[in-house]
Structure 1
Amino acid sequence: MQHLTVLGLLLACAASLCSAAVVIENGMPILWAHTASQMTDLPIENGVLNPDPWHYLHRMSLYRLMIAATDPFMGCMGTNATDSPFWGLPLQLGWMLTSGRLADPTGASTCGLQTGDTMCISTQSWWGCVNYFVSALPVLSAAQNGFMGPGLQVQMQMPAGVEDLCTNYADCSARFPDAMSKWDAFFQGLKAANESPLPDAEKRDSLLGLYWTAQMASTYASAVCNARQSHYPSTEVSFAQSWLNSAEYVSAAHFQSNMAKSVLFMTPLPSRILQEGDSAPDIPDLSADENHTLSIFAWMQKANNLLGGTLVRLWGRAMCSMNTREKGKEMLEQLLLDSSFVTSSFLSIVTGMATSC
């Protein structure tokens, strides 16, 4: 099939030929052209949408359908067709695919490998499990709140033996009530904002606040995936933890994870799973940008741990107004994208901003 050939090229590129992570293809998320453009392109049983979120194209299709369903309510985000904050999620899923993070890390199957089913998302993948909470859960909430069509019910397929994840709205609400209620609040806020007389800048900031609150609630709920980290090298686990930690900063700053911004932040992510002995900024087969990003992530995690969680709390306190959140977004861009930006200045600026709130 054509998409397997495309994926093979992307995986080869990510493994050896390219100097950064592969997150877009022809200006869109990976294999976007092969995803469902309407509900009826996905499995439906007895009137219930029954997608397989362990198939990459199904999970990516859910993003495509959710973006299309919510776009009419996203006018305050900007005039571009890719200004919705949801675009960060399919780009992230594409990065996980091309970097090998959705494949079976146990070696017990060829799920997700070039030698097996390249579209398979392993239920043993920590990355695939964590991503489930920011794909399946928001889609279930969007459907419940009427965005996907009147009365549409969704039941996610789940392989036998996977008992720590939920499959429908009622199940997810019972098992992960905080995450689901936060997604409900976002989608309800999206409807309300569409009728609000407030300026677009205020509506955007408020909606992004609701969006990131829901994202973080999903991230906290995904702690049920943690046992799967035992399948990975310690260096990859450390990166995974620092990656989760970085979300605290973008969340508090109400980062607008549209297509353009998300590509900037994801392209320097590591294009393969880290192995024992990998030590940034001196990993020879990763680009300078990838090494820099890994160093910054590790520094932010280490600084926060040394300070007993104070750095994240200080940052959260500093992001107390639309004005400081705008400054915060600029600082994050400098920190992650400008290798000459000194980390010590980040600490001093954040401390100053927090005391002024």
Structure 2
Amino acid sequence: MLMSAFLCPCVPAMLRPLGLCLLLACAVALTSSAVIVENGLPILWASTTAQLTDMPTQEGVLTPDPWKYLERMSLFRFIIAATDPFMGTMGTNATDSPVWGLPLQLGWLQKSGRLADPTGTSTCGDTMCISPQSWWACINYFVSVLPFLSAVQQGLMGEGVQVRMQVPAGAEDYCTTYNDCVARYPEPMAKWDAFYQGLKTDSTDSTDSTKSDLEKKDDILGLFWDAQRTSLHTSACNARQSHYATPEVSFANSWLNSAEYIAAVHFQSNIQNSVPFMTPLPSRVLKAGDQPPIDDLSTEENHSLKTFGWMKTMNTLMGGRLVTKWRDSMCSIERRAKGRDLLEQLVLNPSFPYSSFLTFMASMATAC
């Protein structure tokens, strides 16, 4: 059973998941070397651009450079500002939107060195540069640039806004406009479009009195995660994994696998819920020979590596059926709540036996 937030006095109030904070989160916050937030917000959030009109333009077309950290982070700031008016079911805090999980993720990538050029050939000596050769930067492109272009297309940034992303050397194979991305990646773009359309519909439709706020919230989170998981599982970035050592590739794949479980439970990836899950992520790129326990990583980081690896291995041994069964089991709001509790125990509690996860799966075998 999960402990309530008052048992975690060492965690600031805004970082405590509502009713879902483990006592272990205190240890995570105190001992892990990973830095996820600054003053309670994503890293360098205060330095991002707040006004769309302050972005670079050329002949009336916005031309952001997503290969600069602050400009890519600014895309999230625009998305959050544009969607917040439709996020009433998420809560009353300014950081309750599930979109906050995405800039937090970008901040972790930057601080852990995963946005840097893994080939070592980049001439950019600025840590604010994002390398087109980075697998992590490539994957993140699909959950930053694509949702931004979709939001513009859906009118959330205003009428008549046109955008074309800048293309530095080495980024020629990335899509740069809405139409370009639709042509190359129709499924992720369609999912982002559906998320924004559903967001506007669910937040403004007061005609369906049988649909509770909880159900509307669950619907929105379902659309959000459907778009995110579809974007993450593109094959466009696969070749870039060859730049990394085997342990980092293994972690990257297990990290992708974990997103399947999180998506299925419709996790509300606001700041307070996301921080405890991101803090234990490895704070540096893994190198050859790294195998948990890794001496220069914290106990929590080693635990997350071990847990993600176990989840990926079990799914592989079962021919992909573990993820399938998990998704099938999370077929109601009540079951998704139980699934969220289980994932919190599995990821944050080192004493939680993996066998309990499999026992839970067996108990969820019956249809909803």
SS, match of residue 102 in structure 1: coil
Matched, 1:218 2:227: no
Letter in 1 for 2:230: A
Corresponding position of 1:71: 84
Letter in 1 for 2:50: S
Contact 1:84-1:257 within 8 A present in 2 as well = yes
Corresponding position of 1:171: 180
SS, match of residue 154 in structure 1: coil
Give the gaps of 5 or more residues in structure 2.
1-29
Corresponding position of 1:188: 197
Contact 1:102-1:128 within 8 A present in 2 as well = yes
The CA distance in 2 between the partners of 1:349 and 1:18, in whole Å, is 30
Residue 39 of structure 1: CA displacement?
0.7
SS, match of residue 80 in structure 1: coil
Matched, 1:249 2:261: yes
Letter in 2 for 1:287: S
Corresponding position of 1:5: none
Matched, 1:87 2:100: yes
Letter in 1 for 2:247: T
Corresponding position of 2:71: 58
Contact 2:133-2:170 within 8 A present in 1 as well = no
The CA distance in 1 between the partners of 2:297 and 2:123, in whole Å, is 25
The CA distance in 2 between the partners of 1:18 and 1:265, in whole Å, is 14
SS, match of residue 116 in structure 2: coil
Alignment counterpart, residue 244 of structure 2, candidates 224, 232, 238 = 232
The CA distance in 2 between the partners of 1:208 and 1:147, in whole Å, is 18
The CA distance in 1 between the partners of 2:170 and 2:80, in whole Å, is 31
Alignment counterpart, residue 296 of structure 1, candidates 304, 307, 332 = 307
Alignment counterpart, residue 271 of structure 1, candidates 280, 283, 286 = 283
Instruction: Give the 5 Å matches for 1:1-357.
Output: 19-111=32-124, 116-197=125-206, 198-221=211-234, 223-280=235-292, 282-357=293-368
The alignment-based identity, stated in percent, is: 64
Residue 18 of structure 1: CA displacement?
6.9
The CA distance in 1 between the partners of 2:365 and 2:287, in whole Å, is 37
Contact 1:103-1:110 within 8 A present in 2 as well = no
The CA distance in 2 between the partners of 1:334 and 1:356, in whole Å, is 24
The CA distance in 2 between the partners of 1:79 and 1:139, in whole Å, is 24
The CA distance in 2 between the partners of 1:349 and 1:20, in whole Å, is 32
Deviation digits for residues 91-115 of structure 1, max 9, x if unmatched?
000000000000010011254xxxx
The CA distance in 1 between the partners of 2:363 and 2:172, in whole Å, is 47
The CA distance in 1 between the partners of 2:32 and 2:222, in whole Å, is 34
Contact 1:315-1:354 within 8 A present in 2 as well = no
SS, match of residue 355 in structure 1: coil
Contact 1:53-1:136 within 8 A present in 2 as well = yes
- 1:303–1:154 distance in 2 versus 1, CA, 3 Å: same
Residue 334 of structure 1: CA displacement?
0.5
SS, match of residue 277 in structure 2: helix
Contact 1:242-1:298 within 8 A present in 2 as well = yes
Deviation digits for residues 105-153 of structure 1, max 9, x if unmatched?
0011254xxxx11110001100001000000000000000000111211
Letter in 2 for 1:261: N
Stretch deviating more after TM superposition (308-317 or 157-166): 157-166
Residue 163 of structure 1: CA displacement?
3.4
The CA distance in 1 between the partners of 2:182 and 2:51, in whole Å, is 26
Letter in 2 for 1:132: Y
Letter in 1 for 2:324: R
Contact 1:209-1:254 within 8 A present in 2 as well = yes
The CA distance in 2 between the partners of 1:54 and 1:145, in whole Å, is 24
Structure 1 segments (4+ residues) deviating >6 Å:
none
